[in-house]
Structure 1
Amino acid sequence: MEQANKPKSNPMKTNVHFLPFLILGISLLFSSCSSSTKILGSWKSPDSPPSGYSNIFIAALSDNVLARKTIEDNLQNLLNQKGVASVTSFNIIKPEFRAMETKKEEILTAIKDRENDAILTIAVIDQTNETRYVPGDIMYNPMGFAFYRGFWRYYSFYYPMIYSPGYYTQEKNYFLEINLYDAKSEDLVWSAQSQTTNPYDLEGSSEEFAKVVVGRLVKEGLIARQR
């Protein structure tokens, strides 16, 4: 098992208890510019099944209906390509749903009735805006001796070329927590934190995020590969 750097928040919880939080999360991430997504760190339970999971319930925790549906659909598509069955929460939990303890058994029963053996949740846990200065470039390319004899000849040729001014750039960073729970025991079996920088559009950024997450699940042996 690969042991990566610890995620920014502590994932070491033993029970799912995520249902009261189904409306939190991804409202701004995939709607904001070149984007990049990477996994910052992950944790894997020693009790995770060696054969991995083959039927996953996907729940993006967001009150942004479009973002929720898009990220769930992209994760489902990639899991299906790997031969892993999956269902999205959007098909079960309606946008107007508000998580309450009284609804817990109803939702868990719906998940288990579909024979899901794992639950994958995604939630935004932090957002930062950073201003970064990119320094300019200085060019030096000496000419022949004769070129240096006259000041103006030298100055007028080099001045427009010698310096490319610096500039400021804005970077938006979104930090997401991705948790995988065992559907039967509701125990946390895997947790990771990802960082997405400058998401450019909903569909493109969501596809990239899904590739990174599913790729990591495969790498860590958490989903059953296609036979």
Structure 2
Amino acid sequence: MNPEISARNYEKVVVAALTDNIRARQTVETDMQTQLQQRGIEATRSIDMFPPTVSQKGPDVNMLLKKVKDQNYDAIMTVALLDEETETRYVPGAYGYTPITRFGWYGRFRGYYTYWYPTIYDPGYYTEEKTYFLETNLYDVATENLQWSAQSQSHSPASLRKASVTLAELTVNQLAQENLIK
């Protein structure tokens, strides 16, 4: 929280995920809106106010602020992907060997090969692990000043949906703890 400002409870918030990925924008904004609404905050997704257009540019900032002020919103929450790192690592396979000579399959190639090959050699594989670095900001509409900011990391989330729900829960809980919302 910005120490230079007195805390206030925001009651009407616009949520804006800053991405050109429409699916990600819709998911993040919806989950954040849901969490805010569960606390009694009137929340609107920016995708509803400014639907995606053919042009790749987002809405003009002056037009955005005018619309937000005209509809009496008191805060804008932004969520942005700051960086993404990919790490590739090798996961070794399992090896095992125990010579046993008393079984019938041991004396013939076909039996030996069929029995042991799948259990002796399990090849390793490469896996990619992604780390996403996110920043969530809360701005006061009247002053346009930053009121609160948090940076977070998400390590190889199983799905966008799961990561988005977790981010929304953590963010809204922290805002409530710091008395920025109910």
Q: Would you say same fold, with TM above 0.5?
A: yes
> Does the 8 Å contact 1:47/1:189 carry over to 2?
no
Query: For 1:187, which of 145, 149, 152 is the aligned residue?
Result: 145
The percent of aligned pairs where both chains have the same amino acid is 42
Query: For 1:63, which of 10, 20, 24 is the aligned residue?
Result: 20
Q: Secondary structure at the match of 1:90?
A: helix
Per the normalisation by structure 2, the TM-score is 0.75
Q: CA deviation at 1:133?
A: 6.1
Q: Secondary structure at the match of 1:204?
A: helix
Query: For 1:105, which of 62, 73, 98 is the aligned residue?
Result: 62
Residue 220 of structure 1 aligns to which amino acid in structure 2? E
Q: Secondary structure at the match of 1:78?
A: helix
Residue 192 of structure 1 aligns to which amino acid in structure 2? A
Root-mean-square deviation (Å): 3.1
Q: CA deviation at 1:166?
A: 8.6
| C-alpha separation in 1, matches of 2:149 and 2:166 | 19
Q: CA deviation at 1:130?
A: 1.6
Q: Secondary structure at the match of 2:142?
A: coil
Query: For 1:173, which of 131, 136, 142 is the aligned residue?
Result: 131
Distance change >3 Å, CA 221–CA 134, structure 1 → 2: farther
| C-alpha separation in 2, matches of 1:76 and 1:48 | 25
Q: CA deviation at 1:70?
A: 1.0
Q: CA deviation at 1:78?
A: 0.5
Q: Which runs of 5+ in 2 are unaligned?
A: 94-98, 101-122
Partner of 2:173: 215
Q: CA deviation at 1:172?
A: 0.6
Q: CA deviation at 1:209?
A: 1.6
Distance change >3 Å, CA 108–CA 173, structure 1 → 2: same
Q: Secondary structure at the match of 1:79?
A: helix
Per the normalisation by structure 1, the TM-score is 0.61
Q: CA deviation at 1:51?
A: 3.1
- The higher-RCO structure (CA 8 Å, 6+ apart) is 1
Q: CA deviation at 1:104?
A: 2.9
**Superposition map of 1:11-26 within 5 A:** none
Q: Which runs of 5+ in 1 are unaligned?
A: 1-43, 137-151, 154-164
Structure of higher CA gyration radius = 2
Question: How many residue pairs align between the two structures?
Answer: 165
> Does the 8 Å contact 1:48/1:222 carry over to 2?
no
| C-alpha separation in 2, matches of 1:179 and 1:88 | 15
